[in-house]
Structure 1
Amino acid sequence: MKAKRASTAQLTKLIRLPKNPTRKERPLISFLRHFSLDLSSSATTTTAAAAAAADDDTAVVTQVVELLQSQDVNWDGEKIRQLLSSSSSPFTHSRLLQVIRRVGDSSKALKFLEWIEQYTSSSSSPISSSLPQASTPSAYQAMFELASREPDYHQKLSHLLQTSKDRGVPLNRDSASLLIRCFGRAQMVMESIRVFNDLDPSVRNTYLCNTLIDVLFKSDRTGDALRILKDMLLPDSSSPPNNVTGSIVFSALMKRNQPRMVVSEKEIIELVFKMGERGIFPDAVRLTQLITKLCRSGSTGRAWDVLHGIMKMGEAVEVPSCNALLTGLGRERDFERMNLLMSEMKQIGIQPGVVTFGILINNLCKSRRVDEALQVFEKMSTEEENAGVAVHPDVITFNTLIDGLCKVGRQEEGLALVERMKSQHACSPNTVTYNCLIDGFCKAGEIERSHELFERMKEEGVSPDVVTLNSLVDGMSSHGRISRAVEFFRDMQRSGLKGNIVTYTTLINAFCHVNNIDKAMEFFEETLSSGCRPDSVVYYTLISGLGRAGRLDDAWSFALNMREAGFYLDTVSYNILISGFCKKKNLDKAYEMLKQMEKEGIRPDEVTYNTLIATLSKAGDFSIARQVMGKMIDEGLVPTVVTYGALIHGYCRAGHLDEAMKIYRDMGSTSKIPPNTVIYNILIDSLCKDEKIEAALSLMDEMHVKAVPPNTVTYNALFKGLREKNWLDKAFELMDQMHTHACNPDYVTMEILTEWFSAVGETDKLKRFVEGDEVSVSSM
């Protein structure tokens, strides 16, 4: 009967009796009550007893906690003993954990635990049977949790950890995880590693490995993290990686700034595939980051392999990852693989979006393949081409195409595209749209059309910006309308549109080119007063302008003022000054500049040394020129064909033809620098002037052998030498060679040949030469 009533009790618990039963429900309720009368009475008694015990349990825990939290608690007093002994139920391990968690101080919790252990060791203790061992992994876990929330948590945790070791209490998984994370947060990474290594192997699992790997990555201990991951990837690993592992690893490896990252691109890729064999892949964001990172470092081929490798493994790939690869391929102008990837996307059901098509269109336009970009544009909105889904171009797509058309001089087509975007796609042109068109018409010299577009954009409510201003100012300045450019700039200033450093640089450069340095300096002063910070381009422009105007002292004074203001000249600026002083034969000032460069830590380059060597060679100071060349080599710079050409030209001018020929021979044998047309022309001209025609013709033959193309200057030098010897037959051969090498005679050629051939009665030959016919003896 007891068993039967128990079943009924269970049934009554499952069935909630309605307060107002219906007519049909009343017999069933009466039946249930008949069989549950005794049980209900018993259950009520039991429930009341349980509630009383629970209240007593809560009261005891509360009173113990209050005693522990007081400053004057007597750990050996009778108060705690009385509380524990007077309780109607034994002080269990569950009550102990409640006290630890509520006491609020890990030191007091540990002291209470030690008191409990000492108290239970007494045979007379009433709780020794209910609490045979107080120091358990769960008790220490509770204290670890308590300590982790305290200000000096790392010290408290270290003390508790050592205490647990001394008492032989092993860590459970939750305690180990908490300690690893907390020590990692406190930059005590070695403690985290020690906790993990000291664990019983049976306790270690994937969750703990993930926790430690995360700490190691955050502490820049990449090598240690990957060693743990390597063990997890072993076939017989008891802690195989999961998706959380992948998230931690891929997030860490994809960070942009990794000061102590020791993982190469190849290793990252290998890791992706090893994880992929376990069914763990980077999410769409991480995969996109990886592909972008590979492409930016020039490893687009590896990025291609990663994306396709993941596809072959069956993992779904999303559009952003494909877009990242398309961007990298576009940077390398690899349109073949761009089109292949677009085709593959459609085959596997990845629908390209407007960004995808925009990447392809943008790169085609940058490569000046505008017609192909227009074809892609037409296809993108065709449903048949895109799996029944039309991709509508946005304003960015239109702007890209319009800019591409303007860059190749097809401004009218770009203008027509604006009308199409408004009529067919309800897409309004913006400031960028008009900037592309205005810049295109300006560069084509159609300044009036640019102004018309400027007025049109204002009428349509499209606000011009500083780019609009700069395009028009540059266009007018570049086509000789500087005054109008200044007037337009002033109008824009009055309307509230201020210029930037590009605006001022454009105007400064324009005035420097027309040698109006004073006006350029006025705009430089305005640059400073307007709050625009001058950059190196402005200084270079002004110094260059002053140098070209021959105002080298002003240029140097300007450079000194800039240095005092905190700006330093670069190598190019110094080269301009050095070249200017060299042209004025003021070598002392040029050397002063060179010393100033070295003082400021700016290394002279090939241009610096070549300028000095050329100047010294022209002046006949060959000894010093050779010293400068030696210093150039000592600085790690390799002499160029310009360097040798300067020396050869100097020796030839000074009449030291043998020295010039020696340098020429050294170029081919020692320096391995092939001479160019200029050097051959210098030597041939000098040999002809020295009446060494055979040697000059021999050099001409060497030019043919070494595939160095002669020019009109080469032939003119030889014609002069042959005229002195009256070698007509050789002159006829050279005249035919000129036609063969497509060298057109100039006025010097005609002057030499006309004077010579008229004197010897060979004007018919000259006529045939002018008409492009062969004139040599062998052709007659």
Structure 2
Amino acid sequence: MRRLPLKPLKPLHSAAATLRHLSVEPQRLPSPPPPLSDDSSHFSQTLSLLQSTDRSSWSTHPTLPTLLSSLTPPSILKLTRHLPNYKNALHFFNHLKTTSHPSHSLALAFQAVLEQAMRENPDSPEKLYELFVLSKDQNTPVSINAAILLIKYFSRANLLKEMVSVFDSVDAESKNTHMLNAVLAGLLKWGRVDDALKVLDEMLDPDGKNPPNSNTVDTVFSSFLKRNWSGRRVTDEEIFKLVSGFGEHGLSPSGFWFNQIITRFCRNGESDKAWGVLHEMMNSGSDVHVTSCNALLTRLGKERDFVRMSLLMKEMMEKGIEPNVVTYGILIKNLCRLRRIDQALEVLEKMKDGEVGVKPDIVLYNTVINGLCKVGRQEEGLQLMERMRLERKYNPNTTTYNSLIDGFCKVGEIDRGLELFEQMNKEGVDLNVITLNTLLDGMCKHGRVSSAMEFYRSMKEKGIRGNAITYTILITAFCNANNIEKAMKLFEEMRENGCSPDVIVYYGLISGLTLAGRMDDASSIVSKMKEAGFCLDIVSYNTLIGGFCRKNKLDKASEIIKDMEESGVKPDRVTYNTLLSFFCSKGDFAQAHRVLKKMIDDGITPSVVTYGALIQAYCVTDNLDAAMKILRDMNSSSKISANTVIFNMLIDFLCKKDQVEDAISLMDDMKERKVRPNTTTFNALFKGLERRHWFEKALEYMDQMTEQACNPNYITIEILTEWLSAIGQTEKLRKFVQGYKVSASTT
């Protein structure tokens, strides 16, 4: 393998200090030599001689050369290991070199020297590296075991450069899987992902000489999947390829790491990868734990992929992977989430009847009860709670009651919710803030705000404190009820109690204060909102702009628009319509048309409200021609068609100006354009017809109202009663009110 590209490392003299701080990862130093078990008399004589003779006289001893020449390389290794200390071992190694011993014997003797040095000087990597450099300088071969020993030692000492140097010094033919695993561990410890992947590529090569083993798999995934991983992020695709590559060698991650891989894929939305890896493991006969299947089922549920969920459940049965209560919990939860409640009930019944070998727990019952309540079947949820109590002896808990209370409150049955609340109290079931908020929300949404406030105060006296959601519910309710004073008091109480208002509270207060015309207070809330780190949205900006326009404070509205643009919020159709309506109300048509042009230039299509504001303003200022021109422009070129409201404005104005013929023409235009007139349309026309005394024409439109099922209101009756009574035609009015045609009658 070619030398790995390395970044500059810290100086060697700092390595000892680094090594001493590795208290979380104790060194695995070479064990002391085992007791002698060699019966060779030559071995015993040689060891005795070396131990009893001064090492300076070894080179001149008459019998030592003969004894040494009779020993095998393994005996040389053993002999060196049994010398009393490192210095003796090193001197013996040097002695062997002078006596021209075989290279294999020298390599094993050097290995023993290293072992002695590690035992005596565990915190001195300099000495080990010096020995290694010495062996290279003297062309002493390093045994494979010695190389692995050094690689592991330098890896633990964070001496990556030295580790790679040892690895490169070993002949390619001598390297083995054990050594590559040691190098991998070192590279991964240092976070050198790309270098580690190159080593793995060699090992995973089908024609490679050093295939991976189970230690390789554990080394790789224990690094890549640990939480405090310091290297670059390994992608899901790289993990997937590694799992597949190991699988081709008949290897797979352990159950723990396999579950981590599946969970990671599922968490990142890679359900296809999780599916592929899981089935690869299943098909290879590997031990697949139910936890891994549960992780994938959870992901598939989020994707609403019930086809694959059902298939996986079936395959689990076929492969002997027994689902547990969590498995069925995932299935039932997702069925309920997708409102497939009857299927969830069916699964629950099978569990109760013992058909699947897993009994339901209270969590599963609560899941189904909550699902029933979410779809408005709270009565069935109540029945299921009683069955749970009787059949399984499970007492309902807080979650059970909260689900049922929420179900009844959602459909407006607040009293039933309060009955369940009292039942909770009697049974000693703990109340929590969710119970409180559920009831408060139900009361407020169904117009019982005062009752909600009383209930909140009573719960507070019992020690159940509200949270931010509690205050949000109450403040929003009082804003909607236009009780801004109460909402503001609650807002201050909320802050005093340490509950941080959320953006919904701020939006609600801004809207309520603006509608009440309290723009200074609204601006104050905006400032507090910004101090809390929240930003206004387009709805709140539009609310404020509209409020300032109604107060005729265009300068303040302009400030809001400037702030909106600086915050990166672009004006929308409502913004432009608000400004255009303001200028129209002031009769400033030049400015109104400038707003309209800017609106179009910004790519926002004017709405019927936009044109309606202009038409109404022109009608109010008695500029009928301009109003009719806008209508013609809408009909000819605009994508927005005039609606009933716009036609009503024009018909009412024409009739007031006694231009009844033009009003009737607009009625025909409405019919042609399939715009349905309403009671207001006919009322405006009847007023105009009365001024002209066009009785027969009025009868025609009375019949049209009847045919179109457009019911008259009190204004219609008031107009017609006064007119028809004056001309003696009250019978016509009676028949009209009864729903009969009147124009064909002669009476």
TM-score (norm 1): 0.69
Aligned partner of 1:652 among 610, 615, 618? 615
Q: Does 2:501 align with 1:502?
A: no
Matched with 2:592 is: 622
- Letter matched to residue 536 of structure 2: D
- Letter matched to residue 580 of structure 1: G
Aligned partner of 2:535 among 569, 574, 579? 569
Q: Does 2:283 align with 1:320?
A: no
Structure-1 separation of matches of 2:713 and 2:548? 34
Bigger shift: residues 352-361 or 342-351: 342-351
Matched with 1:357 is: 328
Q: Does 2:579 align with 1:603?
A: no
Cα distance per residue 1:237-279 (max 9 Å; x no partner): 11223333334445555567988436354x5445434433332
CA 246–49 in structure 1, closer or farther in 2 if over 3 Å, else same: closer
Structure-1 separation of matches of 2:269 and 2:703? 53
Cα distance per residue 1:653-689 (max 9 Å; x no partner): 4436656766887776xxxxxx4x7x65566667877
Contact 1:442 1:471 in 2 (8 A): yes
Structure-1 separation of matches of 2:570 and 2:336? 39
- Letter matched to residue 174 of structure 2: V
Shift of 1:651: 4.0
Matched with 2:35 is: none
Cα distance per residue 1:20-55 (max 9 Å; x no partner): xxxxxxxxxxxxxxxxxxxxxxxxxx9999989867
Matched with 2:10 is: none
Shift of 1:429: 1.9
Contact 1:597 1:604 in 2 (8 A): yes
Helix, strand or coil: the match of 1:241? coil
Q: Does 2:391 align with 1:424?
A: yes
Structure-2 separation of matches of 1:86 and 1:752? 140
Cα distance per residue 1:704-758 (max 9 Å; x no partner): xxxxxx666699599969x99999999899989968xxxx767599789989x99
Structure-2 separation of matches of 1:48 and 1:683? 120
Structure-2 separation of matches of 1:764 and 1:251? 93
Q: Does 2:406 align with 1:449?
A: no
Contact 1:213 1:228 in 2 (8 A): yes
Structure-1 separation of matches of 2:132 and 2:469? 65
Bigger shift: residues 155-164 or 332-341: 155-164
Bigger shift: residues 520-529 or 566-575: 566-575
Matched with 2:375 is: 408
Bigger shift: residues 533-542 or 395-404: 533-542
Structure-2 separation of matches of 1:617 and 1:661? 22
Q: Does 2:442 align with 1:475?
A: yes
Contact 2:93 2:113 in 1 (8 A): no
- Letter matched to residue 528 of structure 1: R
Contact 1:753 1:766 in 2 (8 A): no
Structure-2 separation of matches of 1:681 and 1:440? 40
Aligned partner of 1:379 among 327, 350, 353? 350
Cα distance per residue 1:298-329 (max 9 Å; x no partner): 44455444434443444453322222222222
Bigger shift: residues 745-754 or 249-258: 745-754
Bigger shift: residues 693-702 or 540-549: 693-702
Q: Does 2:169 align with 1:202?
A: no
Matched with 1:261 is: 233
Shift of 1:236: 1.0
Structure-2 separation of matches of 1:169 and 1:765? 124
Shift of 1:145: 4.4
Percent of pairs identical after alignment?
37
Structure-2 separation of matches of 1:728 and 1:629? 42
Contact 2:80 2:113 in 1 (8 A): no
Shift of 1:171: 4.6
Contact 1:206 1:240 in 2 (8 A): yes
- Letter matched to residue 326 of structure 2: V
Matched with 1:65 is: none
Matched with 1:329 is: 300
Name structure 1 gaps, 5 residues minimum. 1-45, 61-78, 104-108, 669-674, 704-709
- Letter matched to residue 470 of structure 2: T
Shift of 1:404: 1.4
Structure-2 separation of matches of 1:630 and 1:192? 69
CA 198–512 in structure 1, closer or farther in 2 if over 3 Å, else same: farther
CA 337–53 in structure 1, closer or farther in 2 if over 3 Å, else same: closer
CA 696–447 in structure 1, closer or farther in 2 if over 3 Å, else same: closer
CA 216–134 in structure 1, closer or farther in 2 if over 3 Å, else same: closer
Contact 2:398 2:429 in 1 (8 A): yes
Kindly report which structure 2 residues correspond to 1:123-522, keeping only aligned pairs within 5 A, or say none.
Answer: 133=106, 138=111, 141-142=114-115, 145=118, 149-150=122-123, 153=125, 161-177=132-148, 180=151, 196=167, 199-251=170-222, 260-261=232-233, 263-265=235-237, 268-383=239-354, 385-386=355-356, 389=357, 391-522=358-489
CA 252–610 in structure 1, closer or farther in 2 if over 3 Å, else same: farther
Structure-1 separation of matches of 2:81 and 2:257? 43
Structure-1 separation of matches of 2:571 and 2:189? 44
Contact 1:687 1:693 in 2 (8 A): no
Contact 1:246 1:281 in 2 (8 A): yes
Kindly report which structure 2 residues correspond to 1:573-722, keeping only aligned pairs within 5 A, or say none.
Answer: 573-597=540-564, 601=567, 603-604=569-570, 606=572, 609-610=575-576, 614-615=580-581, 618=584, 620=589, 621-622=591-592, 624-626=594-596, 628-629=598-599, 633=602, 639=604, 643-645=606-608, 647-653=610-616, 654=618, 655=626, 658=629, 675=640, 680=643, 691=662, 716=681
- Letter matched to residue 111 of structure 2: S
- Letter matched to residue 493 of structure 1: K
Matched with 1:544 is: 511
The two structures, once aligned, show a CA RMSD in angstroms of: 5.1
- Letter matched to residue 340 of structure 1: L
Q: Does 2:35 align with 1:81?
A: no
CA 354–114 in structure 1, closer or farther in 2 if over 3 Å, else same: closer
Shift of 1:194: 5.8
Helix, strand or coil: the match of 1:372? helix
CA 623–365 in structure 1, closer or farther in 2 if over 3 Å, else same: same
Structure-1 separation of matches of 2:615 and 2:121? 86
Contact 2:103 2:140 in 1 (8 A): no
Shift of 1:618: 4.1
Structure-1 separation of matches of 2:668 and 2:139? 100
Cα distance per residue 1:109-144 (max 9 Å; x no partner): 7xx888767777778xxx999999589651574378
Contact 1:179 1:195 in 2 (8 A): yes
Matched length: 666
- Letter matched to residue 115 of structure 2: A
- Letter matched to residue 263 of structure 1: T
Contact 2:89 2:116 in 1 (8 A): no
Helix, strand or coil: the match of 1:409? coil
Structure-2 separation of matches of 1:283 and 1:130? 41
